[in-house]
Structure 1
Amino acid sequence: MADHTPFGVCYAKVTPEQVRNYEMVIIEPDFYSKEEMDALRATGTKIIAYVTLGEVDTNRWYYPRLAEIGFLGKNENWNSFFVNLESAEARRVILMDVLPAITEKGVDGLFLDTVDAVAPTTERAYLQPYMVQLIEGIRQRYPGFTIIQNAGAFLLEKTGDDVDAFLTEALASDYDFEHKRYRIRSADEFNERLKYLNHYSTQSDKPYFIVGFADTEDKRKQIKTRLDTLGRPYFISNIGLSELPVQPDSVANILKDKSL
């Protein structure tokens, strides 16, 4: 973990200057050509490419192909649609078409988003075996990649062997989509979520990264004060993850302990 911090996440297009002071940056690969990706990696920073597994938005080039198969509802917060992972063809499109289009540009790893689209609390919980099968397929296809699972800690018992770490969002803070506002979690909320994460981290023997959300310097300071007590890597940004400061000091921590 220490070799991957400070880390950042940015879904707006970034430059080599922006990433060079980070050890790892998760990026939106659709914004880059192979030459631009090479320039990012030439800085020595590990470049991890975003890929969505459980949902897809209408801007993705492969959206029409998954739409033909049929979706299982819509995530109104992000204007994205839930992928029918029960369909072997849907899984094939992701594994055999989408991922090669990303990896042929040259990346160091993959960031698997929307795994929690099959959470136990949703009507899509029955898709969990298919999500596991997809993640297993990704590891088999890319054995040397750094693979980070976003959320979906409830699946780590089955996906743990196929991912290197997981990431959690909104541990110390949260974003209210209905009222469009940022808030700091109460101590009880924070401790309950931390207990949940540590349980699955211990059970799976997988470390985790933390992303926090804030819109003011005061909220960033409150989040940093809370997260600095954990000894785990974190990054703080806006809800759209569209910012990557050239100097990570104010938004990302650096782990000194090489054993983490």
Structure 2
Amino acid sequence: MEVKHIKYLAVLFSAVTVLLAACRKDSFDYGVFTGDDINQQKKYECYDSIVVDPSNFTSNQVENLKADGKNVYAYLNIGSLENSQPYYKRYEDVMLDRYDGWPDEHWVDVTKEKWQRLVVQDRARVYKERGFEGLFIDNADVYCRYHMSEVYQSLKSMLASLKEQGFKLIVNGGDVFISETLKDGSAKKLYDGINQEDVFTTYDFNKKKYVRQTKKDTAYYERYLKKAKESGLDVYIVEYRSGKELSKKIDAYCERHGYKWYNADSIELN
């Protein structure tokens, strides 16, 4: 019985070791789960830093994740509005064009004080009260769509306000906006890091399938990310359904440059 017991413990130890190894193999530094709720928390166990939809999490749930050693970022849409938001009707007057590829979403006029108050006062207060210390800022691409000085300055003003409130900020996408802040030297004062989707893979909305990114766009993003890193910013990447061989290449690429990356199953990030 004693020998059997020892064998059982050895098998159990081996299984745990394999599980931990598998966990560490799965891009465990960083994960973006904005399509999930707390009921999916099992998948978070392999990740040190996670991005979530704050509307799905209570303050207790956020504190539990932080107590487990995780950096938890709340998704905050700074440049567009989805009709799934409970405050959608109250902000229809700031909506602009429909967002291509996302029929339930519109770009917004970020120069409107009403919208700025929602972002830097209302949303920021709610997320701070829930215990979020970081924000994942989305759709600064509004500056690319509406390329005006007023839009640029409004985005800078909102980011500065959020930074002053003590949030750590990661700006997703918005390469035109980011590049301009790198050029005028304001980047590090406004945010801490950037996240770029589709560096090596992308989703073709016309064909409705996941494909490799073009070599031209990959080369552009590589140059862009290098400039951001050289400016002292943290760099994160999100890819979509990267296969085994490509994932190895991305692993090596990120290791060389000090980036973190996440391989998502779908554009819904769930």
TM-score (norm. length: structure 1): 0.81
Amino acid at match of 2:233: K
Report the CA distance between 1:80 and its aligned residue. 1.0
Q: Distance in 2 between matches of 1:51 and 1:29?
A: 8
Q: Give the corresponding residue for 2:110.
A: 85
Query: Equivalent pairs: percent with the same residue?
Result: 20
SS at match of 2:46: coil
Match status 1:170 vs 2:198: yes
Q: Kindly provide the CA deviation profile for residues 139-188 of structure 1, in whole angstroms up to 9, marking residues without a partner as x.
A: 112x2x32111122324323331211111000000111122111012444
Match of residue 75, structure 2, among 50, 59, 70: 50
Of structures 1 and 2, the one scoring higher in RCO (CA 8 A, sep 6+) is 1
Alignment of 1:233-252 (within 5 A): 233-237=260-264, 238-242=266-270
- The corresponding residue for 1:147 is 169
Instruction: Identify if the C-alpha distance between structure 1 residues 161 and 223 changes in structure 2 by more than 3 Å, giving closer, same or farther.
Output: farther
Q: 2:141 aligns with which of 110, 116, 123?
A: 116
Q: Distance in 2 between matches of 1:135 and 1:5?
A: 28
Q: Residues of 2 paired with 1:148 and 1:95: CA distance?
A: 15
- Cα distance in 2 for partners of 1:189, 1:71 equals 30
- CA RMSD in angstroms, aligned pairs only: 2.0
Which stretch has the larger CA shift, 75-84 or 11-20? 11-20
Describe the superposition over 1:27-52 as per-residue Cα deviations: whole angstroms up to 9, x where unpaired.
00101122222222221111111000
Q: Which moved more, 1:91-100 or 1:193-202?
A: 193-202
Distance 2:131 2:148 in 1: 34
Note closer, same or farther for the CA distance 1:106–1:198 as it changes in structure 2 (3 Å cut): same
Aligned partners of 1:41 and 1:181: how far apart in 2? 36
Alignment partner of 1:195 is 2:223: yes
2 CA distance for matches of 1:239 and 1:51? Answer: 17
From 73, 80, 103, give the equivalent of 2:97.
Answer: 73
Structure 1 position 5, deviation (Å):
5.9
Displacement of 1:117: 1.6
Amino acid at match of 2:31: G
- Which runs of 5 or more residues in structure 1 are unaligned? 243-260
Consecutive unaligned residues in structure 2, runs of 5 or more: 1-26
Greater mean deviation of Cα atoms: 167-176 or 125-134:
125-134
Change (3 A) 1:189 1:83: closer
Work out the number of aligned pairs and report it.
Answer: 229
* Greater share of residues in helix: 2
Of residues 129-138 and 185-194 in structure 1, the stretch that sits farther from structure 2 once superposed is: 185-194
Distance 2:154 2:55 in 1: 25
Partner of 2:11 in structure 1?
Answer: none
TM-score calculated relative to the size of structure 2: 0.78
Letter in 2 for 1:198: K
Q: CA–CA distance in 2 between the matches of 1:106 and 1:163?
A: 19
